Amino acid sequence: MERTLGLAKYAFASIFIAAGIMHFVRTDFFLKIMPPYLPWHLEIVYVTGVMEIILGICLLVPRLQRLAAWSLVAFLIAVFPANIHVFMNQQIIQAPPAAHICRLLLQGVLVAWAWAYTRAPREK
């Protein structure tokens, strides 16, 4: 189990690093999903991209794993309103309603996955 969780950590970190990079590659997409009640859309897209990259990298550093994991839990909760905004305005991302529901549920899976790394890593 420990080995599987360790391998999954690299996949999880890669997801965040890749997503963070995409904030700079596909900025237009991330701007499109920003809730209108938030200010400074472009700045928030860039800052959240940097945060995802940094937290993904820090998750792989044993000394920083717990802090990174708790930060990812908080981050995923903080960006959840954007997912709700897209669900409430499904024309933003053209997809079947079931896909939008899956997107919301996926956020819970990601929170649980991040939480799995909130315990101190075992010393070898």
Nearest 5°: CA angle at 85, between 80 and 87?
Answer: 95
Are the beta carbons of 51 and 65 closer than 8 angstroms?
Answer: no
Q: pLDDT, tens digit, for every residue of 35-87? A: 999 999 999 999 999 999 999 999 999 999 999 999 999 999 999 999 999 99
Q: pLDDT, tens digit, for every residue of 25-36? A: 999 999 999 999
